[in-house]
Amino acid sequence: MLKLLSSLSRRQRGYVFLAIDLLLIPLALLFTYTVQSLPISPLEALWQTMPSLPYLMAIAIAVSWWLGLPMVQLNAYERHAVARTAMLAGVLVVASTGLSQISAQELPLGTHVMFGISYFLFVVCSRVFLLQVVTMIYRRARPRRRVLIYGAGTTGTQLAQALRNHDGIDPVAFVDDNTSLQGMTLLGLPVFPPAQIAKLVNDRNINRVLLAMPSLSQPKQAQIARRLQKMRLEVQTLPSFAQLIGEEALVDKLTPVAPQNFLGRKSADVTLGDAVTSYQGRVVLVSGAGGSIGSELCRQVLACQPAKIVLYELSELALYTVHQELVQLAEGGHIDIVPVLGSVTDPRQVRKVLSDHRVQVVLHAAAYKHVPLVEANPLPGLANNVFGTQTLAREAAEVGVERFILVSSDKAVRPTNVMGASKRLAELVVQDLATRHEDTIFTMVRFGNVLGSSGSVVPLFQEQISRGGPVTVTDIRVRRFFMTISEAVQLVLKAGSEARGGEVFVLDMGKPVSILQLARQVIESAGYTVRDGDHPEGDIDIEIIGLRPGEKIEEELTLSGDLIGTRYQKIFCAREERLSEIEVAAVLRGLRHALAASDEDAARMVVARWVEGFARLETGRKTS
């Protein structure tokens, strides 16, 4: 039956409603004659009315259609059509009175009024009945999710009312701490004490609880949520009933955090100024285009009005996502956006892409950057970060690319982990190529942690908070430099325009930020309190888990501290020693042999030999 109803068009359903309304006219007349004290029987009175019945129905059709009654959907009837139905009934009272006089059928005025009232009630009841039947059939075909509403006050009852006809959610009962409400029935739903939640979950197949207590503080709500989550229940809050009525997704309780709040300094100016001219009308290739930095590079380059952007990315999903976004952003801008799926370690594909698209500027952001993962997988990390950079940079020089900008990291300065060492080696490779290829300007940009990027600390803290904690910090002494994604990309693009060849650009990032203090800020920004010895009633614990292999207490931005200013405020150029061409060749040869033999120890020895500050061989070994 549900399939049949669904297959009908809106106009066809309107005809069905109209037919029902017409059939109710003789039924309402018969009912009226039955309850009225007439000198003749009800059937005889109805028979006498038969000659005027077609005229009455014709009037009903015209007026009903004019009022739009047949086109009103069942679930909207109460709000939009009850008053119109009363108008139709009033018109029929006047019509039946007039037709009665014309046909010489002597019926008192009260009979006609009773007919109008009966017809109105019949139509309204028929719509309500049809809605209940259709709803019942629909819900049997598509079971709703059964939920508990925690909070039986005004907010909870409003929520239950809003969910009454919801397609996907079925409120089963209320739960409330208020003993005066326990045992009552509100809107047809019983109110239970919290102690009975476990029993309700088992008996009534409930797996979600909706918290409807906006007056309760967030820490208290968090405590309730953690207690319910231990029962394997999904816990959700609703900030506005408009979201629910609009059938939007229920949201969790975590408040979004603005990354710039945690910098410990003012954000740098993100306008590019005259640096735009270095990318305007050019063909720009962005490697790692689907990553956090790479995708923001693409967005800001797009704003510079390049002739073409080549998106070079290893991840199919990331490439698809960034390509779709950029196509929408560039709509009507006549900018060619080319997605290329591939690895920077493939020299044949790299050369073909650079040649076919006549690339003029390369922004190299492709890298394995997560310290613990690269530490656990040093050979793939070195292969991608070192030899991928060498391949892309070498081929860029061979085909005559004008500018090559490497995105580096503060972890490259005296690194104690493989990821940082691989970025330092990538810098040395680029610096070596800069001395041997005058036609291509090679440069690199070094900066600290990027707030909000994938795998960065703030999203990790937010995820831990959403699970109820604890928030993990490796050491209370750890401090890091931070910048926003927009600042990082601004630095890369400005450095690309400022470069003359072989420079290492760094940003004045202010003072390093304490990770422990950052964890506290993120917890408090989410509306919670830190639970510690001084505040045992707090919401979220901070757990010190110890430094990871290769992790430093503090990072540095330069090897020598010797910085030269540039025409851009807060952007500096670092003076650092380079390896000779023979030394770089020796590094790459040793690494290539270690990779070919899958020898991690040999690879670490090569890195320790040539990278200043790299930890001893034992530091990077996996712990049992």
Asked whether the predicted pLDDT for residue 607 surpasses 90, the reply is: yes
The catalytic position among 411, 423, 494, 552 is 411
Q: Does 250 reside within a domain? A: no
SS3 221: helix
Cis peptide before 470 (omega within 30 of 0): yes
Angle at 441 between CA 436 and CA 442, to 5 degrees: 75
Distance between first and last Cα of the chain: 63
Residue that terminates a domain, selected from 87, 108, 140: 140
The answer to whether residue 538 sits within a structural domain is: yes
User: Are 222 and 284 in a shared domain?
Assistant: no
The secondary structure element, H or E, covering residue 228 is helix 218-229
The percent of residues in the chain predicted with pLDDT above 90, rounded, is: 32
Pairing of strands 361-364, 403-407: parallel
CATH code of the domain containing 168: 3.40.50.720
The reply to whether 92 and 151 lie within a common domain is no
Shared domain for 469 and 609, answered yes or no, is: yes
Burial class of residue 241 in the structure, from the number of CB atoms within 10 Å of its CB (0-12 exposed, 13-18 middle, 19+ buried) = middle
Calpha distance 268→265 (Å, rounded): 9
Give the bridge partners for 504, in sequence order: 444, 574
Do residue 19 and residue 131 come from a single domain? Answer: yes
264 falls within a domain: no
Mean pLDDT of all residues in 341-353 = 96
Q: Say if residue 399 is in the same domain as residue 536.
A: yes
Q: What is the pLDDT of residue 218?
A: 61
Same domain flag for 235 and 106: no
Q: Tell me which residue range forms the domain holding 84.
A: 2-140
DSSP string, 66-106: HHTGGGS-GGGHHHHTHHHHHHHHHHHHHHHHHHHHHTT--
Q: Residues 225, 176: one domain?
A: yes
Domain presence at residue 255: no
Domain end, chosen from 227, 245, 263, is at: 245
Considering the domain architecture, whether residues 180 and 284 belong to the same structural domain is answered as: no
DSSP state of 563: E
E-assigned strands of 232-330? 234-237, 283-287, 308-313
Query: Residue 362's beta-bridge partner residues?
Result: 285, 404
User: Phi and psi (nearest 5°) for 364?
Assistant: -95, 95
- Six-digit token string for 326: 């950029």
Given a cut of 60, whether residue 263 has pLDDT beyond it is: no
Q: Are residues 447 and 553 in the same domain?
A: yes
- Provide the pLDDT for residue 249: 37
Query: Which two three-digit tokens encode residue 488?
Result: 């990082």
| 391-409 average pLDDT score | 94
Q: In the structure, what pLDDT confidence band is assigned to residue 254 with cuts at 50, 70 and 90?
A: very low
Q: Is residue 509 domain-resident?
A: yes
Mean residue pLDDT across the chain: 82
Alpha-carbon dihedral of residues 242, 248, 254, 256, nearest 10 degrees? -90
Q: Are 129 and 153 in the same domain?
A: no
Among the candidates 88, 106, 140, a domain finishes at: 140
Instruction: For the chain, give the longest Cα–Cα distance.
Output: 122
HEC secondary structure over 26-61: HHHHHHHHHHCCCCCCHHHHHHHHHHHHHHHHHHHH
Dump pLDDT digits (tens) for 483-539. 788 878 887 898 888 888 888 888 777 678 888 988 888 887 777 788 888 888 778
**Alpha helices, H only, 446-540:** 457-466, 485-498, 515-525
DSSP of 338-388, one letter per residue?
EEEE--TT-HHHHHHHHHHTT--EEEE------HHHHHHSHHHHHIIIIIH
Q: Could you tell me which of 118, 197, 115, 100 has the C-alpha nearest to residue 151?
A: 197
Are residues 330 and 410 located together in one domain of the fold? yes
Nearest to 120 by CA among 32, 53, 50: 32
Which is it for strands 441-446 and 449-451: parallel, antiparallel or unpaired?
Answer: unpaired
**In a domain? residue 268:** no
Number of domains in the chain: 3
Asked about 411 being catalytic, the answer comes back as: yes
- pLDDT band for 561, please (50, 70, 90 cuts): low
Give the pLDDT of residue 266. Answer: 56
Examine the domain organization and report whether 556 and 442 are in the same domain: yes
Strand partners, 308: 283, 336
